[in-house]
Amino acid sequence: MMKAQTFKRTVKPIVFMTALIPFAWLAYQWMNAYSGLPHGLGFNPQETSNRFSGDWALRFLLIGLAIRPLAKITHYNPLLLLRRMMGLFAFFYVTVHLTSYIWLDLAFAWADLWADILKRLYITLGMVAFILLIPLALTSTKAMIKRIGAKRWQSLHRSVYLISILGIIHFIMMRKGLQIEPLIYAGVLSVLLGYRVKAKYFK
């Protein structure tokens, strides 16, 4: 298998570029839409943008959580080098998601955002998840891990499980009625949580 240094120099940049593809697609479609050219955003571009960015935020959260079990199962630790990047991409796509909502749906009417947070429980939960992600993004650098100490860093970053649960409840509630897609994400998260519990308590 590839050595960690080689992995860092080759696979990591490729994963980085790949993770940017959904954003590049979205930006390209909006450029076309604004220029009056055919685009792939459908008849409700703002809904497409909100949903697309929300989906990718959740996917990166789950990919980030899947890396450690994957490294364990494959006995290939260099995979761990991708964890921070996946977490930061989750934060990036949630930020795009929130921006898309505030810009396209609310046209920057901040009072409406506040009203929505109070009125719609799924927005409240989404906002809580977003706010909880901020300290994780801010403490993602090596210098910050050193500053707060590995132990505290670890317990802080455990909140990513709660954030993922909130993200999925947000998804289930937003879709109204039981739909298959959010349940698939819930199933994936359950497996990851189950793995985590097993690794901790049943060695």
**Contact pick of 12, 33, 45, 55 for ligand HEM (by CB under 6 A):** 55
Query: Could you give the string, one character per residue 93-132, with x where binding to ligand HEM holds by CB under 6 A and - elsewhere?
Result: -x--xx--x---------------------x--xx-xx--
**Contact pick of 22, 54, 64, 87 for ligand HEM (by CB under 6 A):** 54
* Residues whose CB falls within 8 Å of the CB of residue 45, separated by 6 or more in sequence, listed in order: 29, 30, 33, 39, 104
From 5-13, 45-53, 76-84, 142-150, span contacting ligand HEM (CB under 6 A): 45-53
Q: How many residues bind ligand HEM (CB under 6 A)?
A: 23
**Which positions from 130 through 189 interact with ligand HEM, judged by CB under 6 A?**
130, 133, 163, 167, 170-171, 174-175
Decide whether 85 or 97 has the Cβ nearer to ligand HEM: 97
Positive or negative, the CA dihedral 119, 121, 123, 129 is positive
CA–CA separation, 137 vs 90, rounded Å? 9
User: How wide is the angle at C-alpha 109 spanned by C-alphas 106 and 113, nearest 5°?
Assistant: 70
Decide whether 11 or 132 has the Cβ nearer to ligand HEM: 132
For residue 58, state whether it binds ligand HEM (rule: CB under 6 A): yes
* Contact footprint for ligand HEM (CB under 6 A): 47, 50-51, 54-55, 57-58, 94, 97-98, 101, 123, 126-127, 129-130, 133, 163, 167, 170-171, 174-175
